[in-house]
Amino acid sequence: MEFLFIKEKLARPEKEPKTELGRRLRSVRAHLGNLERSDLAELFDVSVTTIAFYERGESEPTASILAGYKKHFGVSLDWLLAGEGAMFVGGDVQFENVTLADIRKYVWNIAETYWEELPRRTPPEQVANQFVEMLDYLISQPDVTDEQASGVIQFDASRLKRASGQGET
């Protein structure tokens, strides 16, 4: 009779963070779907141990790491550093006159325009950051027509194209 033994990796219980910053860093990771520390470490070019130290409050992240949380995940630095406001930039902003259909239209229009206009060598993070900024802008504008939205998106795509050195000067 053959037995298969499955070796389980038992995770040690998480230590309670020593600082509020550590608690908030851990909370961000949880809100991102329990992202692995190794994924954060790779993204920020630090060790997994460093991420664990930050989350336990045993050391404080550098300004560039904190900026990375904002850049890559949209985390509000006011919330991260001081516990003030919403966790994510714009997370506490509410709009009365924007429907899901409006948002879908904006997303489609932005994606299609950027795909058509931007050089393929444009760094994905630049496209993603600009995409989010454009969406935020359009959603925050009252009574934007489809034509106005298309014009703003086209203008922005042209600006990004020129900045990359691929557009007309």
Among 103, 70, 72, smallest CA distance to 87 is for: 70
Long-range contacts, stretch 103-106, CB < 8 angstroms, 24+ apart: 103/135, 103/139, 105/146, 105/149, 106/134, 106/135, 106/138, 106/139, 106/149
Q: How far apart are CA 19 and CA 69, in angstroms?
A: 18
Are 121 and 165 spatial neighbours (Cβ–Cβ below 8 Å)? Answer: no
* 11 pLDDT higher than 60: no
| Domain covering 20-82, topology | 434 Repressor (Amino-terminal Domain) (1.10.260)
Q: How far apart are CA 127 and CA 144, in angstroms?
A: 23
Crossing angle for the helix pair 20-31 and 48-56, nearest 10 degrees?
120
Using left for φ > 0, alpha for ψ between -120 and 50, and beta otherwise, residue 19 falls in beta
| Tokens coding 51 | 């991420």
- pLDDT tens digits for range 41-93: 999 999 999 999 999 999 999 999 999 998 888 889 999 999 998 888 877 66
Q: How far apart are CA 91 and CA 75, in angstroms?
A: 9
Domain ranges of the chain: 20-82, 100-163
- pLDDT tens digits for range 33-51: 888 999 999 999 999 999 9
pLDDT recorded at residue 44: 94
